[in-house]
């Protein structure tokens, strides 16, 4: 995936967020994404799904077969930030909106520690400014079309 140069899920209106690992694609320079369908987009501000509160111990999970309704994915193997194995570690999940190529995308972060969440870059202005757990109580900036 590190050689990915263009990301074009434009007509995928059922995609509302993406994995944070997209930020580790140094060759990715072009994207075409229908941002209106995305969580937290600046035009409509649809809510982010709520994530697991706090942290989870991976000893209690089969990381190759997790419930996507609960974890947002079917497998969680590596830290989104440091690319370390999550086996035997804790999982700290968070949402963050960051630039990826030519779009700002909502990204799901599966981190191995709270320290990993703290080293994430700051989101652009007009987006939630810290990693967060989403949910209906999340205060987002005012939508452009409010």
pLDDT digits (tens, 9 = 90+) for 72-82: 889 999 999 99
User: Any alpha helices (H) in 57-113, and if so which ranges?
Assistant: 68-71
pTM for the complete prediction? 0.92
Residues 93, 109: Cα–Cα separation, whole Å: 6
At 68-110, the pLDDT tens digits run 888 888 999 999 999 999 888 889 999 999 999 999 999 999 9
């Amino acid at each position: 995936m590190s050689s990915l140069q263009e990301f074009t899920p434009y007509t995928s209106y059922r995609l509302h967020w993406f994995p944070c690992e997209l930020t580790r694609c140094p060759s990715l320079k072009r994207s075409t994404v229908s941002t209106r369908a995305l969580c937290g987009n600046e035009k409509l501000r649809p809510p982010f799904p709520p994530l697991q509160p706090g942290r989870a111990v991976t000893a209690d999970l089969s990381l190759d077969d997790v419930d996507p309704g609960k974890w947002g994915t079917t497998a969680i193997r590596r830290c989104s930030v440091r690319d370390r194995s999550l086996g035997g570690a804790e999982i700290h999940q968070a949402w963050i909106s960051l630039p990826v190529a030519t779009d700002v995308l909502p990204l799901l972060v599966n981190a191995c520690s709270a320290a990993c969440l703290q080293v994430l870059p700051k989101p652009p202005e007009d987006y939630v400014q810290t990693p967060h757990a989403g949910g209906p109580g999340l205060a987002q900036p005012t939508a452009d079309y409010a």
